[in-house]
Chains A and B, each alone.
Chain A
Amino acid sequence: MFMGMSAEILARLQFAFTISFHFIFPAFSIGTAAFLAYLNFLYLWKKDGAYLRLFDYWKTIFAVTFGMGVVSGIVISYQFGTNWATFSDKAGAVIGPLMGYEVLTAFFLEAGFLGIMLFGRKRVGDRLHFFATLMVALGTLVSATWIISANSWMQTPAGYTIAENGQYVPADWWAIIFNPSFPYRLVHTVLAAFLTTAFAVGAVGAYHLLADRTNRQARIMFSMAMWMAALVTPLQIVAGDAHGLNTLEHQPAKIAAMEGHYETQSGAPLILFGIPNDETETTDFAIEIPKLGSLILTHDPEGEIKGLKEWAKTDRPPALIPFITFRVMVGLGFLMLCLGLWSLWLRWRGRLYDNVWLHRAAILMGPSGFVAVLAGWYTTEVGRQPYTIYGLLRTSDSLSNVDAPAVGTSLIAFIIVYFVVFGAGVFYLLRLMRRTPQTDDHELEKAPNRAAGITPGPAQSSRMEPKNGH
C-alpha cells in the first residue's frame, strides 16, 4: 500500500497538501476583508450607493472564501497533534500559546462579528455594521500576525531554554514573538495578501470593463486595484529584498538553495535559470550574470556567498524546489510591477478604462497573487528543511508514533474531499465574480435616461443609498 512510503513522507505530503489549500483562502480573505472595510468606509463617507453595491458584491465572495478558510484551518490546528506529536510535545509550550493568542484575539473576533457583517446591516444600522466589518478586517490581520510569529519562531528560534525532558521552555516571550525573522516575514506576507486580493479584484474589474467599459462599479474596483498594483508592488519588492537579506543572515543554507549555489564563492553570479542537482552538486544548464548574485545579497560585487557544500549533505535543504519556486515568485513580482506601471501610464493618459490590452493583461494576472504566495511559501518552507525548528529539531524527529497506513488513508481522504469541496468552492467563486456588478434599481427608476451604455455622470455620486435598498 502507499508505494512503500514511510509515515514521515506521507505526513509531510499531508501537511504540504492541506496547508497549501488552506493558505490560499486566508491570503485572499485578509486583503478582501480590508477591501470591504474600505468600501464600507467610502460608502459612509461619500454617501455613494455605488460603494455599498460593491461591498455587497464582494461580501458574498468573501463569505465563501472565509468559510473555506475556516474549515481548512481547523484541520491544521489538529494535524500538529495527529501527525506531529513529538513536535507538539517538545514545542507546544512555545508555539501553542502563540496559537492560543491567535484564537483569543483573532478567530473569535472574526467569527463574532462576521455574522453581523454578512447579515446584520439592517438590524444594527450602518455605523455598527461598519464597526463589525472593521473588526473582521482587524481580526484577519491579527490572526496573520500571530501565526506568522509562530512560523517565524520555527525558522529563527529565540528566547527559549531546553528542559531535561527535551521540551523547549519559554524564557523570554518578547524575544519569542519578535524573533529575528518575524518583522520581515510579517510585512512580506501581509503585503502579499493585499496584492493577491488586488490582482483578483483587478481581474474581475477588467473582465467586466471588457464587456461594458461604462459600468461604474467595474471602473471603481479596477481603478482601486490598479492603484494597489502600482503602489504596493514596489513596496513588496523592497520588503522581499529585506526579507532575503534577513534570511541570508539567519538561514544561509536556504539562500544557497534558492540561488542554486553549491560552491562558496566571492563575486558570485546570479543564476537566472538552471537545474540544481543535489546528486552531482552542480546547477546544470545555468544561465548566469556575473557578480550580480553577490551584489544583490551583500550589496558588494565581490562579496562572499556561502554554497550548499558548506553544510553536510544531511543538514542541507533540497535545492531544486526552492530554486524554482523562488524564480516563479520573483518573476511574477516583476510582472505585477510592469502591470502597475503600465496602469499608471494609462491612467495619466486618461485611458485606464479604455485600453483593452491592459484589461486583458489584468485578467491574465488575476491568479498571479495566489501563485506567487504559494511559490514564496514553498521557497521558505522547503528551504528550511531538514528541520521543523531550524537547527534544533529535525523533521524526521518530529513525527507522531503513527502507522503509515493511517497517515496514507487520511491523506487520500483529504485529497478527495479537498478537490471535491474546494474545487466546487472555487467554481462558485468564479461564478460569483462573473456576475455583472449591478447598477441600482432605484437609479434606473429615478433616472430612466441613464440606461446602460451611457457614461455615468458625477451626479450619481451624490445620491445616498436608501437604507433598506436591498
Chain B
Amino acid sequence: MAIDLAFVWAGIIAFSVLAYVVLDGFDLGIGILFPLFPEKHDRDVMTNSIAPVWDGNETWLVLGGGGLMAVFPLAYATIMPALYMPIIAMLLGLIFRGVAFEFRWRTERWRPVWDVGFAAGSTLAAFTQGIALGALVQGISVTGRQYSGGWWDWLTPFSVLTGVAVVFGYALLGACWLNLKTSGPLQAKARRHAMIAGVATLIMIGIVSLWTPFIREIYFARWFGWPTAFFSAFVPLLLAVCAFALWHGLTTGKNLQPFLAALGLFVLSFAGIGISFYPYIVPGALTIYEAAAPDSSLSFLLVGAVVLVPIILAYTGYAYWVFRGKIDPEEGYH
C-alpha cells in the first residue's frame, strides 16, 4: 500500500501553520492589546503569562517555514519571493516582539521603548501574516520554476483587509488568554476587549468569506458547487456555534470557554481556507503534487515527524501544565 506522501505532508504543514497561528496568535494578541493596558503592573502580568511558552509557540513558525522548504521546496521558492516585503516586515516585527520579553526587565529608563517595540512588533507581525495570507489566496504568478511577479504584487485591498482581520483575530485570542490567566480588574478589562475584538473578528470573517469566492472561479465552485457545498455549508454553521459560545462564555464569566471558542473560530476559518485551496499549495500555480520534494525526502522526514511530533506535543503540553492556572501577580519571574 503506497502512502500519498504529498497529501500527508500537506496535512502536517497545515497542522503546524495552524498550531503556530493559534499559539503564537495569543502571544501576538497580547502585544496588540498592550497599548490598551498602560499600567506597568498589568503589562508585567501580561508578559509573564506568556514568557514561559512564547518561544515554543514561535517554533511552529520555523517548522512551517523550514518544513515547507523540505517537503514543498518549489512552493517555498515561489511563495517567499512573492511575499518578500511582508515576510521581511514580519521577521523584523518578531525580532522586536521576541527581545522585549527579556529587555523590558533589563532597564528602567528604556522599558517604555521596549514596550512600544513589543506592541508595534506584535501588531506588525500579525498584520503582515494576514497580508501574506491574503496575497496567497489571491494567487502568485509563477513561470517555469520561479516567481515571476513584481515586489509589490502582494499589496491589494483584499490583502490589507485580511491583514486587519488577523490583527483583530489575534487580539481576540490574546484577550481570551488574559481572561483565562488573570483575575480581578485586569480580567474584567480583558473580557470587555475580548467582546469588542470578537465582534470585529466575526465581521471580518464575514467580509473575507463573502469576498473570497469571487477572487477565483475554483473558490466559487468549491463553495457553491455540488457536492463540496454540502461540506462548506457546515463551516458557517459551526462558526455561528463558536460565536455563540464566545458570547455566552464572556457574559457569564467563564474562564476557559471563551478561549476555546476563539480557537474554534480560527480552526474553522483555517478549514475554510483549506477547502478553497486544495489541492493547490500555490493557488493558481502549483498543486501539492507539483511542488512536492522527491519521495526520498518526504519519507525520510516523515519518519521523524511521526515519532517526534507526538513527543513534542507531550512535553509542550507538560510545559503548559507546569505553568497552569491564574498568574500570581506577586510571583515575579525576574
A binding-site residues for B, Cβ under 8 Å: 60, 63-64, 67-68, 70-75, 77-78, 80-82, 85-86, 88-97, 99-105, 107-116, 118-120, 123-124, 163, 165-167, 169-171, 173, 400-403, 405-406, 410, 413-414, 417, 421, 424-425, 428, 431-432
Q: Does B112 contact A (CB under 8 A)?
A: no
Taking a contact as CB atoms under 8 Å apart, the answer to whether A115 and B304 are in contact is no
Taking a contact as CB atoms under 8 Å apart, the answer to whether B88 and A82 are in contact is yes
Taking a contact as CB atoms under 8 Å apart, the answer to whether B322 and A103 are in contact is no
Taking a contact as CB atoms under 8 Å apart, the answer to whether A88 and B309 are in contact is no
How far does the alpha carbon of A425 sit from the alpha carbon of B92 in the complex, in Å?
A: 15
Q: Does B316 contact A (CB under 8 A)?
A: yes
B binding-site residues for A, Cβ under 8 Å: 51-53, 55-56, 58-59, 61-63, 65-71, 73-74, 76-81, 84-85, 87-88, 91-92, 94-96, 98-99, 101-103, 106-107, 110, 117, 145-148, 150-151, 293-294, 296-297, 300-301, 304-305, 308-309, 312, 315-316, 318-319, 322-323, 333-334
Closest 3 CB pairs of A and B: A92-B73, A81-B80, A115-B52
Taking a contact as CB atoms under 8 Å apart, the answer to whether A92 and B76 are in contact is yes
A261 to chain B, nearest CB (A): 38
Q: Is the interface of A mostly helix, strand, loop or mixed?
A: helix
Taking a contact as CB atoms under 8 Å apart, the answer to whether A81 and B69 are in contact is yes
Taking a contact as CB atoms under 8 Å apart, the answer to whether B70 and A82 are in contact is no
* 15 A-B pairs (CB sep. < 8 Å): A63-B102, A77-B62, A85-B81, A85-B146, A88-B80, A92-B76, A100-B70, A104-B63, A119-B51, A165-B145, A169-B297, A171-B296, A406-B151, A424-B110, A428-B107
Taking a contact as CB atoms under 8 Å apart, the answer to whether B61 and A74 are in contact is yes
How far does the alpha carbon of A403 sit from the alpha carbon of B81 in the complex, in Å?
A: 10
- Given A425-B99, A425-B103, answer yes or no on A96-B73 (Cβ-Cβ < 8 Å): yes
Taking a contact as CB atoms under 8 Å apart, the answer to whether B65 and A400 are in contact is no
Taking a contact as CB atoms under 8 Å apart, the answer to whether B110 and A81 are in contact is no
How far does the alpha carbon of A99 sit from the alpha carbon of B145 in the complex, in Å?
A: 22
B214 to chain A, nearest CB (A): 30
Taking a contact as CB atoms under 8 Å apart, the answer to whether B145 and A103 are in contact is no
A203 to chain B, nearest CB (A): 20
Taking a contact as CB atoms under 8 Å apart, the answer to whether B297 and A86 are in contact is no
Taking a contact as CB atoms under 8 Å apart, the answer to whether B52 and A120 are in contact is yes
- Given A71-B94, A81-B79, answer yes or no on A99-B56 (Cβ-Cβ < 8 Å): no
Q: Indicate which residue in A103, A115, A167, A171 contacts B319 across the interface (CB closer than 8 Å).
A: A115
Taking a contact as CB atoms under 8 Å apart, the answer to whether B147 and A167 are in contact is no
Q: Which of B71, B294, B316 has the most chain A CB atoms closer than 10 A to its own CB? A: B294
Residues of B within 8 A of A167 (CB): 73, 293-294
- Given A115-B55, A118-B52, A421-B99, answer yes or no on A102-B106 (Cβ-Cβ < 8 Å): no
How far does the alpha carbon of A64 sit from the alpha carbon of B114 in the complex, in Å?
A: 14
Taking a contact as CB atoms under 8 Å apart, the answer to whether B293 and A92 are in contact is yes
- Given A99-B69, A124-B322, A401-B81, answer yes or no on A112-B76 (Cβ-Cβ < 8 Å): no
- Given A72-B95, A85-B81, answer yes or no on A432-B106 (Cβ-Cβ < 8 Å): yes
How far does the alpha carbon of A169 sit from the alpha carbon of B73 in the complex, in Å?
A: 12
Residues of A within 8 A of B63 (CB): 100, 103-104, 107-108
Q: Indicate which residue in B67, B145, B148, B304 contacts A89 across the interface (CB closer than 8 Å).
A: B145
For residue A431, which residue of chain B has the nearest CB? B106
Q: Given A169-B296, A410-B85, output 14 extra A-B contacts at Cβ < 8 Å.
A: A71-B95, A82-B80, A85-B81, A88-B77, A93-B296, A96-B301, A99-B69, A100-B301, A104-B63, A108-B56, A120-B322, A401-B147, A414-B88, A417-B92
Taking a contact as CB atoms under 8 Å apart, the answer to whether A94 and B77 are in contact is no
A325 to chain B, nearest CB (A): 27
Taking a contact as CB atoms under 8 Å apart, the answer to whether A74 and B70 are in contact is no
Q: Which of B55, B85, B294, B334 has the most chain A CB atoms closer than 10 A to its own CB? A: B55
Residues of A within 8 A of B304 (CB): 100-101, 104-105
B156 to chain A, nearest CB (A): 18
Q: Indicate which residue in A105, A114, A410, A417 contacts B95 across the interface (CB closer than 8 Å).
A: A417
How far does the alpha carbon of A110 sit from the alpha carbon of B58 in the complex, in Å?
A: 12
Residues of A within 8 A of B88 (CB): 82, 410, 413-414
How far does the alpha carbon of A131 sit from the alpha carbon of B50 in the complex, in Å?
A: 22
A209 to chain B, nearest CB (A): 25
Residues of A within 8 A of B69 (CB): 77, 80-81, 88, 92, 95-96, 99-100
For residue A403, which residue of chain B has the nearest CB? B151
How far does the alpha carbon of A74 sit from the alpha carbon of B80 in the complex, in Å?
A: 14
How far does the alpha carbon of A421 sit from the alpha carbon of B309 in the complex, in Å?
A: 33
How far does the alpha carbon of A113 sit from the alpha carbon of B42 in the complex, in Å?
A: 26
Taking a contact as CB atoms under 8 Å apart, the answer to whether B66 and A100 are in contact is yes
Taking a contact as CB atoms under 8 Å apart, the answer to whether A402 and B56 are in contact is no
Taking a contact as CB atoms under 8 Å apart, the answer to whether B77 and A92 are in contact is yes
Q: Indicate which residue in A64, A103, A120, A410 contacts B67 across the interface (CB closer than 8 Å).
A: A103
Q: Which of B71, B73, B85, B318 has the most chain A CB atoms closer than 10 A to its own CB? A: B73
Residues of B within 8 A of A169 (CB): 294, 296-297
Q: Indicate which residue in B52, B79, B95, B319 contacts A421 across the interface (CB closer than 8 Å).
A: B95
Residues of A within 8 A of B53 (CB): 115
Taking a contact as CB atoms under 8 Å apart, the answer to whether B293 and A112 are in contact is no
Taking a contact as CB atoms under 8 Å apart, the answer to whether A82 and B102 are in contact is no
Residues of A within 8 A of B147 (CB): 85, 400-401
A316 to chain B, nearest CB (A): 29
